[in-house]
Amino acid sequence: MATEVTVPVLGESITEATLGEWLKQPGDAVAVDEPIASLETDKVSVEVPSPVAGVMGAHAVQVGDTVQVGAMIATIESGAGAPAQAAAPQPAVTESPKAAEPAPASDDGPAALSPSVRRAVLEHGVDPATVKGTGKDGRITKDDVIAAAATPAAAPVVAPTAPVASPSVAQSTGRKEERVRMTRLRQTIAKRLKEAQNTAAMLTTFNDVDMTAVIEARTKYKDLFEKKHGVRLGFMGFFVKAACMALKDIPSVNASIDGEDIVYHDYADISVAVSSPGGLVVPVIRDADQLSVAAVEKTIGDFGKRAKDGTLKMDEMKGGTFTISNGGVFGSLMSTPIINPPQSAVLGLHRIEDRAVVVDGQIVIRPMMYLALSYDHRLIDGREAVTFLVALKNAIEDPTRILIDL
């Protein structure tokens, strides 16, 4: 007897998703509630659990297919089945005449590769057959590929061909191109960013901040902080709290436009941009103005870990009144961040570097960071944007202001 596996309810207003990865192959033993597939929605990846225990049946859809909520994607047959690693791989499907030869980034076999892992395999020239997977059921992760590429005994570079790609090859030179379909998350990011540019009267204003006081406080208290709170003391906790103070002083930066109305928020839900395998995602720290620095750091640390694992929930990325994006962790010196609609402003943080500055008439070397505030000029005047950055700068350069709410 076969049990159908259908696409679960994905959240409010989300009616479809893309089949990102098969976690179980036909013939694999499956336990009840064990994930058998991964779906990519507009915001996050969602695992589809098996409704019953049994044997993985036929796949009704392929990786990359768009599926509707409630649609059948596979069946679970009754029986014990074979261990996942013993399942026979299905034949690869490519447009190449040498389809019988295994491609280095195949979706087939018991340890199917996710799109991010396939890209890493191609970029680093690693043979996945030589990589030991540390993921669930022995699956290869992106970190496994990077680690294998960094070892002296890494496998020799292989030709970057993939079943999902449509390569265009110049036979005389061996030059290759790969065409890979954009993930649903990347498509949504592209659409929303372009909409923000087309809709908002976007402008960016800059300032710089002396990080000396925050660095000294962090150096002095980081060990005690971690011992007491179980989380490392970073810079984001200071910036989130300083931003919340500045938002109270300049409420238009924390507001949004709804038709012909301006919506002011008496709370600060701070969206923080974090990296995931599929791109940047923006989970929200709810009521950040009511949280301590320790609570903020714990929340951000949890978001970062679960973004990497792909376990963030869609509800955690809804809403938000103001966004902070830290490009400095990637080495960015300066940028003009794009607003996250319907928000009206976004703060960009950048790398800290020693620069010569004048303090009390003397040229000194100080650790400086550029700040960038992109804002919707329809709602926020230039004076308000500059005042917001100055308030933020004052709080960071004198962290005592954060403690006494000054």
In a domain, 270, yes or no: yes
Indicate the range of 75-84, 128-137, 150-159, 193-202 predicted with least confidence: 150-159
Boundary-marking domain end, from 144, 177, 210 = 177
Q: In this structure, are residues 213 and 396 in contact, taking their beta carbons and an 8 Å threshold?
A: yes
* CA atoms of 24 and 165, how far apart (whole Å): 22
Residue with the two structure tokens 């490519």: 94
DSSP tag of 25: -
In a domain, 306, yes or no: yes
Q: In this structure, are residues 306 and 241 in contact, taking their beta carbons and an 8 Å threshold?
A: no
Q: Per-residue pLDDT averaged across 240-265, rounded? A: 95
- Residue 268 confidence (pLDDT) above 70: yes
If asked whether residues 169 and 294 sit together in one domain, one would say no
Active site residues: 377, 381
If asked whether residues 330 and 383 sit together in one domain, one would say yes
Residue numbers of the domain that contains 44:
2-177
If asked whether residues 280 and 162 sit together in one domain, one would say no
Q: What is the pLDDT, as a whole number, of residue 79?
A: 73
385-395 tens-digit pLDDT: 999 999 999 99
If asked whether residues 88 and 205 sit together in one domain, one would say no
Q: How many structural domains comprise the chain?
A: 2
In a domain, 259, yes or no: yes
In a domain, 187, yes or no: no
Cis previous bond, 110, omega within 30:
no
Q: What is the pLDDT, as a whole number, of residue 322?
A: 97
16-54 tens-digit pLDDT: 888 888 999 999 999 998 989 988 876 677 888 899 999
In a domain, 191, yes or no: no
In a domain, 278, yes or no: yes
Q: What is the pLDDT, as a whole number, of residue 13?
A: 61
Q: How confident is the model at residue 312 (pLDDT cuts 50, 70, 90)?
A: confident
Confirm whether pTM is higher than 0.85: no
Where residue 29 sits, what CATH number does that domain have? 2.40.50.100
DSSP tag of 329: G
If asked whether residues 166 and 37 sit together in one domain, one would say yes
Boundary-marking domain end, from 124, 144, 177 = 177
Q: Which residue has the higher pLDDT, 89 or 55?
A: 55
* CA atoms of 35 and 1, how far apart (whole Å): 20
Q: How much of the chain is in helix, strand and coil states, percent to nearest 5?
A: 30, 25, 40
Percentage of the chain modeled with pLDDT above 90? 46
Q: Per-residue pLDDT averaged across 148-168, rounded? A: 54
Q: Which residue has the higher pLDDT, 189 or 251?
A: 251
Q: Residues near 301 by Cβ (< 8 Å), separated by ≥ 6? A: 231, 232
Q: Which pair of structure tokens corresponds to residue 169?
A: 């090859």
Q: What is the pLDDT, as a whole number, of residue 105?
A: 61
If asked whether residues 252 and 290 sit together in one domain, one would say yes
Calculate Rg over the CA atoms of the chain: 25
Query: Across-strand partners of 326?
Result: 349
In a domain, 189, yes or no: no
Query: Across-strand partners of 367?
Result: 354
What does the CA dihedral 95, 97, 103, 105 come to, rounded to 10 degrees? -10
Residue with the two structure tokens 């507009």: 42
- Residue 287 confidence (pLDDT) above 80: yes
* CA atoms of 102 and 88, how far apart (whole Å): 14
* CA atoms of 398 and 26, how far apart (whole Å): 61
If asked whether residues 164 and 237 sit together in one domain, one would say no
If asked whether residues 23 and 106 sit together in one domain, one would say yes
Q: What is the pLDDT, as a whole number, of residue 18?
A: 86
Where residue 357 sits, what CATH number does that domain have? 3.30.559.10
If asked whether residues 36 and 132 sit together in one domain, one would say yes
Q: How confident is the model at residue 314 (pLDDT cuts 50, 70, 90)?
A: confident
Please state, rounded to an integer, the average pLDDT across all residues of the chain.
82
- Residue 297 confidence (pLDDT) above 90: yes
In a domain, 16, yes or no: yes
